[in-house]
Amino acid sequence: MGIEIERKYLINYEKWQKIEKPLGRTYRQGYLLTDPKKTIRVRLTETNGYLTIKGLSVGATRSEFEYEIPISDAVELLDNFSISELSKIRYKISFENKVWEIDEFLGDNAGLIIAEIELKREDEHFNCPDWIDKEVTGDEKYYNSNLTITPYKYWNL
What residues act catalytically? 31
Decide the pairing of beta strands 38-44 and 61-69: unpaired
18 DSSP assignment: H
Element (H, E) at 76: helix 71-80
Helix (H) or strand (E) holding 16: helix 13-18
Query: Residue 15 belongs to what H/E stretch?
Result: helix 13-18
Contact 147, 105 (CB under 8 A): yes
In terms of phi and psi (left: phi > 0; alpha: psi -120 to 50; beta: otherwise), the region of 97 is left
